[in-house]
Structure 1
Amino acid sequence: MVERVNSMAASSERKGSASNGYVMLVLMLALLLVPALVYIALGEGEPTLIAAIAGVVVILFILTGFFMIQPNQAVVLTLFGEYRGTVRKDGLHWVWPWFGKEKVSVRAHNIHSERVKINDLRGNPIEIACNVVWRVADTAQAVFDVDDYKEFTNIQIEAGLRTVGSRHPYDDMSDDDETTLRGSGDVVNRELIVELNERLQVAGITVDEAGLTHLAYAPEIAGAMLRRQQADAVISARRKVVIGAVGMVEDALQKLSHDGIVELDEERRAAMVSNLLVVLCGDREAQPVVNTGTLYQ
């Protein structure tokens, strides 16, 4: 687990307040009629000019307060540097022009990390990469608690991938139920999700999915590790063949003795065991040899 010391107070998202933008749009259109009404009532002159200038100023003032929110989008509102809430409702909205407005996408983002070279638990250099699906859960933390939440996310994904990758060996040919990067994909993916969520919590980011997309030995040891894997596989297969052959020989001797087919002394039993093991464990098909004499001739 990652230990962190965080001395600053974490921001927390809260609902912001904004006026209905469509109502303000109707009001703005209505103001366009004011200069025309003044002109009709008073004709050309200074009052008409003043009304026209005032109407333009008011319309420009209203225009600067509009903002549009698309689905799965949010706007963080600030007033002279103070956080005043987040608006998530899609549609046309309006706030006073002196409010700061910063749009934040709360849609799911997909990142495919670069291949990074790390050392696994046994010290073997490997190449690893992952795919991560993340989204902004707390807009206040994403905007105010980190400098650039997208860059922060990219860096933490690589750091989390290095941490999880170094916890386990690449592969293990033994019979132990050891977690490996190659053979325990579900376990490693869950660990990666937990690790990334812990790292990105400070930025208000939630990781929904994460999984390894590339896993291989580094080029400088790939050939040696391939031969090692092949040797381990041969040894493991041989071990199973020998264990099975010994069981079959034991069953054969017990069957012969139980049914009274033939009586074997220790020397003949040893010879039969040797012959059966050669037949069962050999790589090539056994060639029978007919012996017309006895074991002692």
Structure 2
Amino acid sequence: MAEPPPELVQQLYSTPPDRFVAARDAAVADARRAGDPATARQIARLRRPTVAAWLVNLLAIRRPELVADLVQLADAMRSAQRELRGPRLRELSGQRRAVVAALVAEARRLAAGEPGAPSAGKLPLAEVEATLNAALSDTGVAEQVQAGRLLRAASYAGFGEVPRPQLRLVTGDEDEEEERPARRETGRAPAQRAPGSDRAAERAAQAERAAERAARAERARQRRALERELTKARTEQERAESELADAAEAERDGVAALDDIENELAELERRRAVAEQELSRAKLARRGAERALTAARRRTGEVEAAVEALDADEGAAGRGGGEAD
């Protein structure tokens, strides 16, 4: 059966979901025009991912080295859990928080550079975070994440299965159980031994039983210590998960606040543009008024000069008439 070219699949699954169907249909049409109906059918079977799955696919396609680090961390955590290594588990839990947070931030950054992607405030980053944590817990999810063809987000209810040691309850009856087979070997009476030999054999048996009891007590002590360590590790994990949830919620609040600020800035920019236009009109009006004032002053001066000239002519005329009389 023909398979779509891997580069085409990567291109489709790195396309924002709102544009996926159109891009897939165009690829189907190209395959048909190329005379490859089998490949066209395979491309048509590709399904659109959710926004959260698309973000995870984007990480796998654009930043595969970061996803590979996540998978390696998951292997290390599973190994530490199997071996019940509390300090190592706590160290890896801290690394897990840092790695997941870095991947979520990178997914947001990658989405910001994709035309047609949802705005930052609408990205389901909590689902991305849950999917990455599920990949840390489930090897099947990790494989899907690495393939870059995830269709929907995943979730988990805890980090993997913790192997339980095969232990049994130690009681005082075990001493008697160990002695019973010797008493049930046959119905014949034991051979007579010398009193000294019997006492030596009894002391040896007592020492052996004491050593066995000490060994069982040590195993019980180790079991209790391991159970305490396991309880402590699980408590640390729960606290880390709670801190992670709080941090994710704080991040979402920060994104929402940033969106609000960006909206306010956009409104301020609009108001600034309107104010600049009004200021420009006011400047033009002022310049027009200045020109009108200058013209009026010039006209006033001209009229005043004409009036003064007329007055001078009349005065001269009056003086000339008086002399004639």
- TM-score scaled to structure 2, two decimals? 0.22
Q: Which of the two has greater helix per residue?
A: 2
Structure number, greater radius of gyration: 2
Could you tell me the TM-score, scaled by structure 1's length? 0.23
Query: Relative to total residues, which structure has the larger strand share, 1 or 2?
Result: 1
The structure, 1 or 2, with the larger RCO (C-alpha pairs under 8 Å, 6+ apart) is 2
